[in-house]
């Protein structure tokens, strides 16, 4: 699903004429299979966010190749990346990144508006997903009127509304108390299990890493350790993916 081969990245910083090269990632080889939950762990400054930004096309690798779903994305233009992100990725952030002037409902609806989905279908899909995630009653609330846990659930709903195959999460529970963290982690496991969504999660938190099938440790921009938490059988992935799509389409009635 996600393949990085010999990926390196360096930033160029400083004023013109006095530029300095800051090497950040070195020869990263990484494969994330469909239906996996992969945690990226490592100390501050080890390159975790840079790795996520490379996977999502916000920055280009200085060297190496990145393939998503078999497609070489290394040379996509900005416009092509924007379309590719909309079709393939959902994003969850530590700071939720909800739009404060929009209600919870409108925040969840926004990706459908951007994709040009018509009003009636939008309403049906937003209502169904908000019910599934347990936030339907907050549809008319603005983000400032919601607790941190409720805001995070709204942002999870927004990340899933286009049914992306991959969700990238950057410290998703970093602003949550332990109760809300537990709820979020259970939700991620369910979404992975029922819909076959692939998750790549940056985290400092062992609790979060423990729900992953694999934890990848970055140290000074190098991949130093991968540990298997659970095995993901290929035929299970296939089954979960198909069952998950049915689950959404049938409004929650699973076989
Ligand atoms: N746009 C940039 N320009 C220059 N240097 C950058 C840029 N973004 C990140 N860096 C540098 O790259 C290194 C890795 O940063 P990155 O944000 O990927 O680390 P991280 O592991 O995600 O850290 P944290 O856990 O603190 O978020 C750091 O030394 C940082 O200063």
- Residue 128 and residue 105 in contact, taking contact as beta carbons nearer than 8 Å: no
Q: Is the pTM of this model over 0.90?
A: no
Give the distance (Å) from ligand 1 centre to CA of residue 11.
Answer: 9
Confidence (pLDDT) at 210: 87
- Nearest ligand 1 atom to the CA of 12 is 4
Show the domains of the chain with their CATH numbers. 34-62+78-249 (3.40.50.300)
Residue 166 has phi, psi (to 5 degrees) of -130, 135
C-alpha–C-alpha distance, residues 187 and 190, integer Å = 5
pLDDT confidence of residue 248 = 33
Residue pLDDT, tens place only, 117-174: 998 999 999 999 999 888 999 999 999 999 988 998 899 899 889 889 999 999 888 8
Distance (Å) of CA 251 to CA 110, 129, 237, 248 = 20, 8, 21, 5
- In this structure, which residue's CA is closest to atom 25 in ligand 1? 44
Per-residue model confidence as pLDDT tens digits over 84-107 = 998 899 998 888 889 999 999 999
Residue 251 pLDDT > 80, yes or no?
A: no
pLDDT at 172: 85
pLDDT attached to residue 232: 37
Opening angle at CA 51, ends 50 and 52, nearest 5: 90
pLDDT of 160-218, one tens digit each?
Answer: 898 899 999 998 888 778 888 888 888 889 889 988 999 999 998 888 888 999 888 89
| Ligand 1 nearest-atom number relative to CA 51 | 18
Which of ligand 1's atoms lies nearest the C-alpha of 204? 25
pLDDT attached to residue 227: 65
């Amino acid at each position: 699903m996600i393949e990085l081969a010999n990926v390196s990245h360096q930033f160029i910083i400083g004023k013109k004429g006095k530029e300095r090269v800051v090497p950040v990632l070195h020869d990263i080889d990484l494969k994330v299979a469909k239906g996996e939950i992969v945690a990226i762990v490592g100390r501050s400054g080890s390159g975790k966010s840079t790795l996520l930004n490379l996977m999502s096309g916000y920055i280009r690798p200085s060297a190496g190749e990145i393939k998503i779903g078999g497609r070489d994305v290394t040379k996509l233009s900005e416009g092509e990346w924007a379309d590719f992100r909309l079709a393939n990725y959902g994003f969850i952030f530590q700071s939720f990144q909800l739009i404060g002037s929009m209600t919870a409902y409108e925040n969840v609806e926004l990706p459908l508006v951007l994709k040009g989905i018509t009003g009636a279908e939008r309403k049906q899909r937003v209502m169904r997903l908000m019910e599934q995630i347990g936030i339907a009653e907050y549809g008319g609330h603005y983000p400032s009127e919601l607790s941190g846990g409720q805001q995070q659930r709204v942002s999870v709903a927004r990340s899933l509304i286009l049914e992306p195959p991959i969700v990238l999460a950057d410290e998703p529970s970093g602003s949550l108390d332990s109760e809300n963290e537990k709820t979020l982690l259970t939700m991620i496991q369910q979404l992975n299990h029922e819909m076959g969504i692939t998750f790549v999660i940056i985290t400092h938190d062992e609790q979060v890493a423990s729900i992953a099938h694999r934890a990848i440790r970055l140290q000074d921009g190098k991949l130093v350790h991968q540990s298997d938490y659970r095995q993901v059988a290929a035929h299970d992935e296939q089954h979960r993916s198909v069952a998950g799509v049915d689950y959404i389409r049938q409004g929650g009635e699973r076989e």
